[in-house]
Amino acid sequence: MERIVNRACLFLMLCTVALTCPGVAADDVPMKAMRDQMARSLSMQLSGLAKPYFLAYRVQEITGFSVSASLGSLVTSHDTRSRVLHVELRVGDYKLDNSNFLSLGARPGGGFGAGLQIAIDDDYNELSREIWLATDSEYKKAVELFAAKQATLQNQSQGEDVPDFSRERPNKSFEKQKPASVDTSALEADARQVSSVFRQMPELQSSQVSIDVENVFTRYLNSEGSEYTKSNVLTVVSISATAQAEDGLPLQDIELVFVNSPSELSAQELAARAQQMVARLQKLRTSGSFDRYNGPVLFEGEAGAEIFAQLFAPALVASRNPVTDNPRGQAFIEQMTTRFGGGTLSDRIGGRVLPDSVNVVDNPKLDSFQGKILMGAYSVDDEGVPGRVNTVVESGVLKLVLASRIPIAGATQSTGSHRGISAAPSNLIFTSSKSTSDQELRRMLLDRAKARGYDYGVVVRRAGGSTGEFIQMAMSMMQGGSAPGNNMLEVYKVYANGREELMHGEQLPSVTAASFKDIVAVGDEPIVYNSPFFPGFTSILMAGMSGDTSAVTDLPVVSYVVPSLLFDEVTLKKASGPFPKAPVSKPPALNANGS
């Protein structure tokens, strides 16, 4: 009798908690359908095969607005509304399951698979049916892949014994939905106004301004007891243009602006950015270049944050190569991982990776720095693990790498960093106990260049890099090509008398994450730089095999706070062709009103 009473009390307590949790209403139809189908699905089993030991559902409610314009005319303008279901199902156990395995004969399981569009109406019966069918499909893939993985492992000797999935403490976190209001007419007018700036340069081969507003409300629960709801609101402005230098080199420039609400946008400020891009491209078209330079380089202002984001930050993330049932496939993955960013620094934990004056902290709890917006803030990561402050580098020594629930040697527990399809930073803050003024950095650059026999030093003010360039590089490498060097946008020869010469087409072929330990000085004015984070090659590969295109479209935004960086030894070389020939005829003239 006492046992029955205790169970009744527990049931009433759980019901009370469920009804009083902020952000989850008792009549939340999608969450009810998710809970009910999870209760049913955990007992599913094909004859003689394993049951699921872990199951998670994530449903994203996506609403938004997108507009693009070119040369003052609208190209697209539309609203979006969708509801997307992701199912993560694992069979086996935490030590060995169906994940981290790539088979030529089956699609990978483990981790969230491709998003499935489901009903946007709160129809309990339809949502339950769709979740049931998606779960059934994931279970069948999981048991097939698990059997193939077990057979493969019987014939392979393995290295370090690392579990396939980490155990994490259940966590509950609930946010209310907070969509941003959108004035579509105002955003269309902004896109027209900003894009019309490019009429000043008829030599441009293309230009576009796009504004995307996205509200994502996410519901999540897993079989361990973790649940969350969270609301993310993001507005992104992309200003881009392409041209061609007189020597045929293609020139591409892009500016990305991130704010929380479209009300924070200023058409005047955006037009000023477009104007700066026009001036930059006009100068680049007729600027000079040098064949090769080996010596000190100062990455000044935003360029310091750009190269830190592109070349060092990705190596701070744990990355695990999957086991494959094909030795050639295994070799290919290892080769591409090295070529596609150099992999992770996890084997350097405890070793020096930056100057001994430098600390790097990943802090998802910050939403601003010196009045500038930081876009990487969150309370829980996408796997329901609480976000926390992680000291990644202390006094130049690597203390940890940022990890999801996919363990690797040296990072067997999550750091609360799963965002998108893999682990990712949130807000990376770079500080140094030894900082140097801009004037002193310039003097150090010229002194070191003179010692190398140069009468000039090299300053980089924009290092380039964009989502478009990233996708092109990934496609090139998947087709067997080499990883192209970074085509930097603003590279200057700087002389002792203050004269500067703009160069174009210079690439940075040799700097890797390992190069950052040889930084000789850092500036005293950190720059806030917001940028999409590009996942590692293996994460893209596994997502692509499952049909999840979010690997190259829905990239998490990371904020970097980084000062100017002076390197002692950097190689720059001129980009090599072949380049497409310039258009045969002159471009049509454009006046202010577009006629």
Crossing angle of helices 124-154 and 29-41, in 10° steps, is 40
Q: Residue 240 pLDDT more than 70? A: yes
Residue 266 CA: distances (Å) to CA of 182, 189, 210, 262, 270: 14, 12, 14, 9, 6
Q: What's the pLDDT band for 339 if we cut at 50, 70, 90? A: low
Give the integer Cα–Cα distance in Å for 33 and 125. Answer: 8
Average model confidence (pLDDT) for the chain? 86
> What's residue 534's pLDDT?
85
Lowest mean pLDDT among 78-92, 261-275, 331-345, 530-544: 331-345
Would you state the torsion angle of the CA atoms of residues 15, 19, 25, 26, taken in this order, to the nearest 10 degrees?
A: 40
pTM of the model: 0.89
What is the C-alpha to C-alpha distance for residues 465 and 480, in angstroms, rounded to an integer? 21
Query: At 461, is the pLDDT very low, low, confident or very high (cuts 50, 70, 90)?
Result: very high
In this predicted model, what pLDDT tens digit does every residue of 284-293 receive, in sequence order?
999 998 889 9
Picking from 388, 360, 322, the residue whose alpha carbon sits closest to that of residue 108 is 322
**Residue 510: per-residue pLDDT:** 79
CA–CA separation, 401 and 337 (whole Å): 17
Both structure tokens of 254:
């892009």
The structural domains of the chain, ordered by start, are 22-286 (3.30.2290.10), 292-574 (no CATH)
Candidate from 115-129, 387-401, 539-553 with smallest mean pLDDT = 539-553
Which tens digit of pLDDT belongs to each residue from 402-456? Answer: 999 999 998 999 999 999 889 999 999 999 999 999 999 999 999 999 999 999 9
| 91: exposed, middle or buried (Cβ count in 10 Å: 0-12, 13-18, 19+) | buried
Among 168-177, 229-238, 478-487, 524-533, the minimum mean pLDDT is found in 478-487
User: What are 64's two structure tokens?
Assistant: 């938004």
